[in-house]
Amino acid sequence: MTDRKSTKLYIPQPAENCTLVGILEQLEPHKPTQGRKIALILHGTMGHKDYLFQKRMALRLPFDSFRFDFRGNHESGGKWRYAGFTEDIQDLVIVVAFLRNTYGYEVDMIVGHSRGSVVGIHWLCTSEEGKRVSAMINISGRYRMHVRIHTTGPTATDRPLRSESLRDQDKIDMYKEQFDTKGYYEWRLTVARKPVMERICLRDIEEFASWDTSIVWDYFPQTIHVFTVHGLDDDVVPVHDAIIYARAFGARTPGTHVLHLMEDADHNFTGLPFFSDKTVLSMSSWSG
């Protein structure tokens, strides 16, 4: 579409006196936006607005969309926290209000990957505007949050170490050594081609594990249509979590649920080059 427009927006977040940065994609930028429907695309842990399939999906959707960096991620200011779900939800509330007050947009779809899906689901369950959303795409969403840690150092707890995922168990083993010697774990990774280091403390793991995803059973709006996408080779969030979500979403009416399990696909759908394009095509076709 030749008149499509991409605009970088800077949204004040007063809770931490920082700025959230995102990209507004408009199919018909010269037409009024008052009352126009928009999709929000939410990234996962230590991700950003353009990683994985987010940008490609935004360019394929048949309506306007907005994708942004949560607080402390990539171009957005503020402090990142491993278990900062509450802060992420605050950011989402601020973004929704900004798009409504500045442009007149009405959020009609949430697309969430991994942590972004957990955040999006909670917002849909607890906000008045969430009740008016018509669709959600739940990608690699985690349901079983609980990971228990046992250490012998200064932050020791007598609870056993346990994980539902081999990838989580690997992380716990890495965390444990530094927990025992330093009291925290230094997570070093590359985000948007830049080196990043964040500290994770035992209390962060415990807070992460205590986040309540069961809210979906009683409070997720009855009318929202949900499309769950999960890779069968996901070693970060076990595929059984998608089955649990399917049970929760499938129990509603008149809202519908579609479960799409992808062979050979990992958590980020990056196992082979065609995964991302195939995923984007499936999700865009469903949303259209």
pLDDT in tens, 179-236: 788 888 888 877 777 888 888 888 888 899 899 999 999 999 999 999 999 999 998 8
Radius of gyration for the chain, computed over Cα atoms and rounded to the nearest angstrom: 19
Instruction: Find all residues with CB under 8 Å of 154, minimum gap 6, and list them.
Output: 183
Sheet with 37-42, strands from edge to edge, namely 5-13, 18-26, 64-68, 37-42, 106-113, 135-139, 225-231, 257-262
Q: What is the 3-state secondary structure (H, E, C) of the chain?
A: CCCCEEEEEEEEECCCCEEEEEEEEECCCCCCCCCCEEEEEECCCCCCCCCCCHHHHHHHCCCEEEEECCCCCCCCCCCCCCCCHHHHHHHHHHHHHHHHHHHCCEEEEEEEECHHHHHHHHHHHHCCHHHHCCEEEEECCCCCCCCECCCCCCCCCCCCCECCCHHHHHHHHHHHHHHHHCCEEEEEEEECCEEEEEEEEHHHHHHHHCCCCCHHHHHCCCCCEEEEEEECCCCCCCCHHHHHHHHHHHCCCCCCEEEEEECCCCCCCCCCHHHHHHHHHHHHHHHC
Cα distance between residue 127 and residue 190, in whole Å: 34
Which pLDDT score, from 0 to 100, does residue 154 have?
A: 40
pLDDT higher than 90, residue 270: no
Cα distance between residue 196 and residue 220, in whole Å: 35
0.85 exceeded by the pTM? yes
Which tens digit of pLDDT belongs to each residue from 116-170?
999 999 999 999 999 999 999 999 999 999 744 434 444 433 333 444 444 555 6
Within 10 angstroms of residue 208's Cβ, the number of other Cβ atoms is 20
Which pLDDT score, from 0 to 100, does residue 277 have?
A: 64
Q: Give the pLDDT band of residue 272 (cuts 50, 70, 90).
A: low
Place of tokens 């607890």: 126
Between the two ends of the chain, the Cα-to-Cα distance in Å is 16
Closest CA to 165 of 149, 146, 138: 146
Which pLDDT score, from 0 to 100, does residue 158 have?
A: 37
Place of tokens 């759908």: 269
Dihedral sign for Cα atoms in the order 262, 148, 117, 88: negative
What is the share, in percent, of the chain residues with pLDDT greater than 90? 62
Q: Give the pLDDT band of residue 112 (cuts 50, 70, 90).
A: very high
